[in-house]
A and B are shown apart, each in its own frame.
Chain A
Amino acid sequence: MSTRIIGPFNRVEGDLEVHLEIENERVQSAQVSASLYRGFEHILLGRPAFDAITITPRICGICSVSQSVVTAAALSDALGVRPSTNGQLGINLVHAAENLADHLTHFYLFFMPDFARPAYADKPWFAKTQRRFQAQAGLGAKELLAARARLLNITGILAGKWPHTLAVQPGGLTRSLDEGGKMRLLSVLADVRAFLQETLYGLSLEEIAGLENRAALDKVLDTAIDIGSDLGLFAALARDLDLESLGAAYSRFLSFGAYHFQDENLFPAGMMVAGEVRELDPGAFREDLQSSWYAGGPSHPADGVTQPFIEREGAYTWCKAPRVNGQPAEVGAVARQLVAGQPLIRDMVGAGPANVFARIIARLVESARIVINMEYWARRIEPKAPVSTDEKPADEGVGVGLAEAARGSLGHWVRIEKGRIQNYQIITPTTWNFSPRDGAGVPGPVEYALEGTPVAHSDPNAVAVQHVVRSFDPCMACTVH
């Protein structure tokens, strides 16, 4: 048995350290540690309720709009204000722009550069992969950054800036819309569609979004490989390295539901356990603190407290351990698409766990679905209809905001008295995925997914470990709010 510590584990958002116990060149057990504490749940206490709209986006620079959306939903739930239809369309567009930017950033900047490492220099796909994805130097990153900047123009048009906008409010959007703005949105979306179709997929958004099963995917991947698109490069190396054999976690998935419009979510809320869809029950959540540097025992987030306690025996992370019905669960695009019934992802995962390959494909399929829906929402904007309601909020209440960030399920639980925040608890997507061991000794999803991962003596970087960890697209900044 030997031990390895990998840190700073970069090309993730925020601070991450991974501890591995290795035997016979395989990971025997793993511990993941979030090594920063910032105290947002404490900072929010006593503040005027609506200050949360300024404060919570700053939990995370990469999913700041998701924080805004969930804050607005929690205040809306607590204080009884609902967004206007037009405002909801605008919020969906800003939120989708950020989520899509995150998926693309993950693929081009965080995940793929590992395959351009010298460790793979003898692979037939190496030269092309290096040309596109080598960190900093790759042409893919350069093209992605230009396309990403263009995509985020949507946030300039609808939300003033990104990250850290205050445009998303419980009553809707602060930015009124006119015909010119609507046309600018459609113009940006045409460029986004072109980037995805021409550079990323080499196929139309509809061909990707409509994939029905594994056989259809394999056919599409053959085409992508022929064309030489970035999806094709991924497909070639994923087959060669058998990325499907890596990173299996639990067959328990959560989605809080995303993109509310006309009384329903584009991607519905729910839970999937061993292939069966169940209703989401947030009442069954508990945050366990056994391995975390906090005082106290397991509690529901509505009654949760965050009290740093660095001397806690056996603790190794600032991440809490959320559990549903006492069990860990995986969140993210693969969970969202499973719960939403996307047929390809259902076919790939079945009743089993997800894996590195399925997580990447789920993000790529979801990206196509997002752009198609963004076009739909943009066309439905009515320039002169109100973006915001003028309902007056109550000054007391208890509320929950639930939505999906790019990386998965995000929830805020708030209690407001006399217009001020009495308690505020946050569970972020990566808190689910990167949770430590709980009181029963059950490891979190990533810790579990790492067990069995090959680590050769001759491989100082443990590349397979890197693929597994990054396949979850962790956002440690969120985790350690």
Chain B
Amino acid sequence: MTFKILWLQAGSCGGCTMAALTAEDRGLIAALRAFGVEILWHPALSVETGREAVKILEDITSGKVELDALCVEGSAMRGPGGTGKFQMLSGTGRSMADWIRELSGFARYVVAVGTCSAFGGLPMAGGNVTDACGLQYEGDSEGGLLGRDFKSKGGLPVINIAGCAPHPDWITETLGLLATVRLSADQLDTFARPRFFADHLAHHGCSRNEYYEFKASATQFSHLGCLMENLGCKATQAAGDCNLRSWNGSMGSCPDAGFPCVACTSPGFETPSDAFQETAKRAGIPIGLPVDMPKAWFIALAALSKSATPERVNSNAQSDHVVIPPVRDEDDT
């Protein structure tokens, strides 16, 4: 028995597929095969085109072929004026939104791959001219294309593998869970993101942790210091195990590479309160403080740690390479 998936690209950049192709450093096809996942059709991977492809969709909606998971990448485009004409599924004369609505009724599980299909994502920015939304969310409000009460035949809401793009292994591991064990509602967080990655903060395991602890901050890009105080980093507020597993090989992650976490796993990330690359502040204090940390404590601790920061940490924080290495006490060695 294989676990059959259909993958559609709604209003997307294709980046979730492109990320997924690098899964587990060996590629999506091998990674999914390990879990017994069979791809009925994928826009980038399948040979079937045109009429042959439409037939696969029709075999599902006629009940001829069982669909285990409908995977959707990209925002649902409802505009203009509710017609869905901002995205027609080529060759069918029907809007993609319409196809997704129908196919969702036949799928055991519906999986939103990426922040666009989860919450609406980037196309919602700038006044949302395309009336884009996620499958079951519009920003942080429940609803979206399928409505707040939607549950797939398997009894779950839309499973949101958020991220722009998500870590490829979040995609394969979620599909693997659905295919091999099971995924129950309590394994999803309040935004229906799989908790195996969403129960962490993107900040956990950050290689800049020492700078964070001492509030030794970078003031420009390429500096080694913490990116939270000045350069817009939201890793202390964003869901994700981004720094506990690496991206694209042995060492990648956003803050590790010197640029801020933009909280791409969060609904509404596309419309920050200020510029992406600057930290929004009020009276000199960042507006977005670490989740579940009392503000007064944060300010007190920050002041205390700043006063105790070693010269090494302060100097290195505002340099693009280590200028003062740690000096080890000879008694320690």
A interface list, Cβ under 8 A from B: 5-11, 13-17, 33, 35-39, 42-48, 50-51, 53-55, 58-62, 64, 87, 105, 109-110, 113-114, 116-117, 134-136, 141-142, 144-146, 148-150, 152-153, 155-167, 169, 171-176, 178, 184, 188, 308, 310, 383-384, 386-388, 390, 460-461, 466, 477
Contact = CB atoms under 8 A, between A and B. Distances in A.
A142 B21 CA distance: 10
B247 A135 contact: no
Nearest to A170: B221
Nearest to A84: B222
Given A39-B123, A161-B252, A149 B22 contact: yes
A145 B17 CA distance: 12
Contact of A43 (B19, B54, B125, B247): B125
A8 B50 contact: yes
B128 to A, nearest CB: 9
A188 B25 CA distance: 13
Q: Which of A6, A9, A161, A175 has the most CB of B within 10 A?
A: A161
Contacts of B276: 48, 50-51, 53-54, 166
Contacts of B299: none
B257 A16 contact: no
Contacts of B277: 50-51, 53-54, 166
Given A36-B77, A145-B28, 19 more contacts: A7-B89, A7-B90, A10-B49, A15-B87, A37-B130, A42-B129, A48-B278, A58-B13, A60-B15, A61-B13, A61-B16, A62-B14, A62-B18, A136-B46, A146-B25, A153-B252, A158-B257, A387-B320, A477-B14
B85 interface: yes
A156 B49 contact: no
Interface in B47-86: 47-54, 77, 80, 85-86
Contacts of B164: 58, 164
Contacts of B44: 10-11, 13, 109-110
Given A50-B276, A136-B45, A149 B27 contact: yes
B258 A61 contact: no
Contact of A477 (B13, B86, B89, B275): B13
Contact of A175 (B246, B248, B258): B258
B249 interface: yes
B165 A157 contact: no
Contacts of A172: 221-222
A169 B321 CA distance: 18
B316 to A, nearest CB: 11
A117 B47 CA distance: 8
13 contacts: A8-B53, A10-B48, A36-B77, A38-B11, A55-B125, A136-B46, A145-B28, A156-B247, A156-B249, A162-B247, A166-B277, A172-B222, A310-B85
B19 A145 contact: no
A15 B53 CA distance: 13
Q: Which of A5, A163, A184 has the most CB of B within 10 A?
A: A163
B323 to A, nearest CB: 10
A167 B258 CA distance: 7
A117 B48 CA distance: 10
B17 A160 contact: no
Kindly list the 5 A-B residue pairs having the minimum CB-CB distance in the complex, ordered from nearest.
A61-B15, A145-B27, A7-B91, A160-B257, A7-B90
A13 B18 CA distance: 10
A54 B262 contact: yes
A188 B255 CA distance: 22
B27 A160 contact: no
Contacts of A169: 221
Contacts of B13: 58-61, 64, 163, 477
B126 interface: yes
B256 interface: yes
Contacts of B27: 141-142, 144-146, 148-149
A135 B43 CA distance: 11
A166 B14 contact: no
B250 interface: yes
B247 A160 contact: yes
B122 interface: yes
Main secondary structure of the interface of B (DSSP, over half): loop
Interface string B121-151: 0110111011010000000000000000000
Contacts of A37: 77, 86-87, 130
Nearest to A52: B276
Contacts of B47: 11, 113-114, 116-117, 134-136
B257 A135 contact: no
Given A14-B14, A174-B221, A149 B25 contact: yes
A141 B29 contact: yes
A150 B248 CA distance: 8
B160 to A, nearest CB: 18
A3 B44 CA distance: 26
Contacts of A51: 275-277
Given A17-B90, A60-B14, A383-B321, A460 B85 contact: no
A54 B122 CA distance: 10
B87 A161 contact: no
Contacts of A166: 254, 259-260, 262, 276-277
A146 B257 CA distance: 23
B92 interface: yes
B23 to A, nearest CB: 8
Nearest to B122: A58
Contacts of A47: 126, 275
Q: Which of B87, B165, B258, B321 has the most CB of A within 10 A?
A: B258
A39 B14 contact: no
Q: Which of A116, A162, A169, A184 has the most CB of B within 10 A?
A: A162
A377 to B, nearest CB: 18
Nearest to A383: B321
B158 interface: no
B266 interface: no
B87 A163 contact: no
B220 interface: yes
Contacts of B12: 14, 61, 477
B279 interface: no
A155 B257 CA distance: 10
B14 A388 contact: no
B136 to A, nearest CB: 20
Given A166-B277, A169-B221, A388 B320 contact: yes
B54 A8 contact: yes
B282 interface: no
Contacts of B258: 160, 167, 173-176
A455 to B, nearest CB: 12
